[in-house]
Chains A and B, each alone.
Chain A
Amino acid sequence: MDFREDQIERYSRHILLQDIGVEGQERISRAKVLVIGAGGLGAPVLLYLAAAGVGTLGVMDGDVVDLSNLQRQVIHFTPDVGKPKALSAKEKINRLNPDVHVVAYNEFFTAENALNIIRDYDFIVDGTDNFPVKFLINDACVLSGKPFSHGGILRFDGQTLTHLPGTACYRCAFHSPPPPNAVPTCSQAGVLGAIAGMLGTIQAAETLKFLTGTGELLTNRLLSFQAKSMHFRTTPIRRNAGCPVCGEHPTVTVTTLHEAEQAVCELKKKRG
């Protein structure tokens, strides 16, 4: 891949980095990354990956921009209220960096489309807001041998873990979704807007580290922080023999993914 002069200038601060250089920037420019959810986490992830020149960015979200999103979903602007989030995000990415090919999916990630969509991508980022889909992303990625970044935020806190084939997965640590309504979501409990930025930029950094083979990823450890005290901690996580998807006796398989889909439908019905 030969960079044009303007691209060498645009990416010069990456190229200057010894760990990245021209070769690393080429890897970024050839990479395909899928971001599921163009909201609080997805917004910073998409903006930084677009700025970094990721070759293809998949943006998946079936929702439309709401006024209450703008407190933290920094890729959407006031005139975007009512517009599909995937489209709104695509417009901003195109304006930020025309080098990036954007594939906008104006739909939700479901058991039906999961395996088909992630097949085309090198890395997947979880920017979703509910447990059934977080577990579905984990299961689809583990079963497909795809690396991904898990992210979760609530109130003033955040957590993230990176999975590569063979390393501990989200289910190794969290097994199965908590009972519905046992753990509040951001829409019920609230979230400090900047927390989404803090965690999303960590996920974007992990993605770029993965694509360029730089440093040590957050594999086999869960990074969590409490922003009130600004206390950060990484907890070692091991592969769990009892893990329902990557353990010794898996109960989650390609065919059972559809059960997860059922759970999503039920949750949607309950939310009404």
Chain B
Amino acid sequence: MAKVIVNGEEQDISLPVSLIELIRQNQVSQPDMVSVQINGIFIVREKYEETIVKEGDEVDFLYFMGGGR
């Protein structure tokens, strides 16, 4: 088990894990619903599968919110 920080909170996960897998583990039903940055760097959607999350990484899921009216 290794620790990564997801949206500011520690999570224990088993490595290796790809970003797309971490997205699924965090119950994001569709990857299209989030924008993701790892250690402050945004990851383009096309690289979610090939990006590997490392121990200590800070991962932020930012949700698209289109409402307002």
Chain A residues packing against B (C-beta within 8 Å): 37, 39-42, 63, 69, 73, 126-131, 134, 151-154, 157-159, 172-175, 178-179, 182-183, 185-186, 189, 191, 196, 222, 224, 233, 235-238, 240, 242
Chain B residues packing against A (C-beta within 8 Å): 7-8, 30, 32-33, 35, 37, 40-42, 44-45, 60, 62-69
Q: How far is the CB of A105 from the nearest CB of chain B, in Å? A: 15
Q: How far is the CB of B64 from the nearest CB of chain A, in Å? A: 5
- Please tell me if the beta carbons of A40 and B64 are within 8 angstroms of each other in the complex: no
Residues of B within 8 A of A63 (CB): 69
Identify which of B7, B42, B66, B67 contacts A40 (C-beta below 8 A). B67
- Please tell me if the beta carbons of B67 and A233 are within 8 angstroms of each other in the complex: no
Instruction: Provide the main secondary structure of the chain A interface.
Output: mixed
Known: A183-B30, A242-B42. 7 other contacts (CB 8 A): A127-B68, A159-B65, A174-B62, A182-B64, A183-B66, A189-B67, A233-B8
- Please tell me if the beta carbons of A175 and B42 are within 8 angstroms of each other in the complex: yes
How many residue pairs, one in A and one in B, have C-beta atoms under 8 Å apart? 98
Residues of A within 8 A of B33 (CB): 178, 182-183
Residues of B within 8 A of A183 (CB): 30, 32-33, 64-66
Identify which of A152, A172, A235, A240 contacts B65 (C-beta below 8 A). A152
Residues of B within 8 A of A186 (CB): 67-69
Q: How far is the CB of A75 from the nearest CB of chain B, in Å? A: 12
Nearest neighbor of B40 in chain A, beta-carbon distance: A238
- Please tell me if the beta carbons of B67 and A172 are within 8 angstroms of each other in the complex: no
Give 9 nearest A-B pairs by CB, closest first. Answer: A39-B69, A152-B65, A186-B67, A129-B69, A182-B32, A41-B68, A153-B67, A183-B64, A129-B68
Residues of A within 8 A of B8 (CB): 233, 235
Q: How far is the CB of A2 from the nearest CB of chain B, in Å? A: 38
- Please tell me if the beta carbons of A37 and B69 are within 8 angstroms of each other in the complex: yes
Residues of B within 8 A of A154 (CB): 63, 65-67
Residues of A within 8 A of B41 (CB): 238
28 A–B pairs (Cβ distance < 8 Å), ordered by A? A40-B69, A41-B68, A42-B68, A63-B69, A128-B68, A128-B69, A129-B67, A131-B66, A134-B68, A152-B64, A153-B65, A153-B68, A154-B65, A157-B65, A159-B62, A173-B37, A173-B62, A174-B35, A178-B64, A182-B33, A182-B64, A183-B32, A189-B67, A196-B68, A233-B8, A235-B60, A236-B40, A242-B44
Nearest neighbor of A199 in chain B, beta-carbon distance: B68
Identify which of A42, A196, A233, A236 contacts B7 (C-beta below 8 A). A233
